[in-house]
Amino acid sequence: MAEVKRQLAMVLDLNKCIGCQTCTIACKRLWTRDEGMDYMWWNSVNTKPGRGTPRDYEKMGGGFRGGVAVPGKLPTRRDLGDAWKFNHEEVFYGGKADRVHLKIVGEEPDWGPNWDEDQGAGEYPNAYYFYLPRICNHCTNPACVESCPRKAIVKREEDGIVLIDEDRCRGYRFCMEACPYKKIYFNHARKVAQKCIFCFPRIEQGVSPACARMCPGRLRFVGYRDDPEGPIAKLVDKWKVGLPLHPDFGTEPNVFYVPPLAPPRFDENGDIDESKPRIPNEYLVSLFGPRVIEVLEILKTEMAKARAGQKSELMDLLIVYRWKEMFGGFDRDPATIEWTTA
């Protein structure tokens, strides 16, 4: 695997995600509007517990176990939610706006990219869920790069962004089998694989990825892994509160999550029950690995400090008083750049 000089990374604080999908739409409008990309969501946000996108992707294999490649399955378009067709023509241009309403044309879908939103798990009054935004993890040990017989996927030496060379790609889709996060899509019009590019044209101009910059919740931190002044090193290495999703997949993601805390449980009398957490520990461990328990303790300790009026660098970081400080120097306003479309 190619050694990279530096690695760009993202940390997402799941305690701040409100599931608004602004990131999803920011990405969609910027990158996946061309023919063949209609069903692609390089950024997706799903409710957890939930089946995710594509449906049940965590059971589709791929990645590595003990350093050995694990066979993976290809998702179907339907697993990914497909792109529903609507009667836009009829409603907007058919002259029948007083009689027809917007509806899906063709087969009634049984799945969508955010189908099980807010369902979660648990029983009232102890139901629980949280939102999990996902992009390509730009892994340190990318299964997609390993899988491609044409070496069409590269991990950039200068920043570790993983990119598909569409001129070399022949649409074999081995990468889609190999990616355990199922974050690669097949463009049926161009017959190539496509995925999140960490907004590299923006990065190259000092602008953070659109999903991060557009996030109203200020939950996506961006920067180099090795920048001690940047937010990534502080959250992941200094405070150790950033965890990869599914470390068990063996690809070493460079997208990290601050795991979700939840309100306390109620017992049968309606009193607060602190004896066990609302979100079962074993569930969080299954997503973020065993360190998640320790991370939740760090968060609780620092929250308590802040509540008691003491200084907490971690809480200050996570609150994000100064928006631009989230972006590790990639804070240039894209409106100040003259973009070309050539």
* 70 binding other proteins? (CB under 8 A): yes
* 149 binding other proteins? (CB under 8 A): yes
At closest approach, how far in Å is the CB of 145 from other proteins?
A: 9
Segment 304-323, which members bind other proteins (CB under 8 A)?
none
At closest approach, how far in Å is the CB of 166 from other proteins?
A: 13
- Partnered with residue 273 across adjacent β-strands are 265
* 37 binding other proteins? (CB under 8 A): no
**Which range binds other proteins by CB under 8 A, 106-114, 174-182, 259-267, 333-341?**
174-182
* 31 binding other proteins? (CB under 8 A): no
**Which range binds other proteins by CB under 8 A, 85-93, 143-151, 229-237, 320-328?**
143-151
Nearer to other proteins, 174 or 224 (CB): 174
At closest approach, how far in Å is the CB of 103 from other proteins?
A: 24
94: Cβ contacts below 8 Å, ≥ 6 apart: 100
Retrieve residue 18's tokens.
Answer: 């409100």
- Choice from 32, 147, 208, 254 touching other proteins (CB under 8 A): 147
**Alpha-carbon distance values, 33 to 26, 30, 38, 185 (Å):** 11, 7, 6, 14
Q: How far apart are CA 91 and CA 213, in angstroms?
A: 34
* 106 binding other proteins? (CB under 8 A): no
Q: How far apart are CA 146 and CA 72, in angstroms?
A: 13
Q: How far apart are CA 111 and CA 82, in angstroms?
A: 8
Q: Is the dihedral of CA 141, 183, 261, 325 positive or negative?
A: positive
In the chain, what is the straight-line distance between the N-terminal and C-terminal CA atoms, in Å? Answer: 33
**Which range binds other proteins by CB under 8 A, 87-95, 132-140, 141-149, 269-277?**
141-149
* 11 binding other proteins? (CB under 8 A): no
The distance from CA 51 to its chain's CA centroid, rounded to whole angstroms, is 15
**Which range binds other proteins by CB under 8 A, 186-194, 225-233, 262-270, 330-338?**
186-194
* 209 binding other proteins? (CB under 8 A): no
- Choice from 9, 178, 236, 299 touching other proteins (CB under 8 A): 178
Q: How far apart are CA 213 and CA 221, in angstroms?
A: 9
Helix (H) or strand (E) holding 69: strand 68-69
Determine if residue 133 is left, alpha or beta; phi over 0 gives left, psi from -120 to 50 gives alpha, anything else beta.
Answer: beta
* 146 binding other proteins? (CB under 8 A): yes
* 76 binding other proteins? (CB under 8 A): yes
* 66 binding other proteins? (CB under 8 A): no
**Alpha-carbon distance values, 187 to 33, 36, 40, 171, 285 (Å):** 12, 5, 9, 8, 34
- Choice from 77, 218, 324, 332 touching other proteins (CB under 8 A): 77
Nearer to other proteins, 68 or 342 (CB): 68
Asked whether 114 and 147 are in contact (CB, 8 A), the reply is no
- Choice from 150, 238, 276, 307 touching other proteins (CB under 8 A): 150
**Which range binds other proteins by CB under 8 A, 15-23, 148-156, 282-290, 306-314?**
148-156
How many residues are given for the chain?
342
**Which range binds other proteins by CB under 8 A, 18-26, 146-154, 209-217, 315-323?**
146-154
18: Cβ contacts below 8 Å, ≥ 6 apart: 131, 216, 217
* 174 binding other proteins? (CB under 8 A): yes
The residue ranges that bind other proteins (CB under 8 A) are 62, 68-72, 74-78, 80, 143, 146-151, 170-174, 176-178, 186, 188, 191
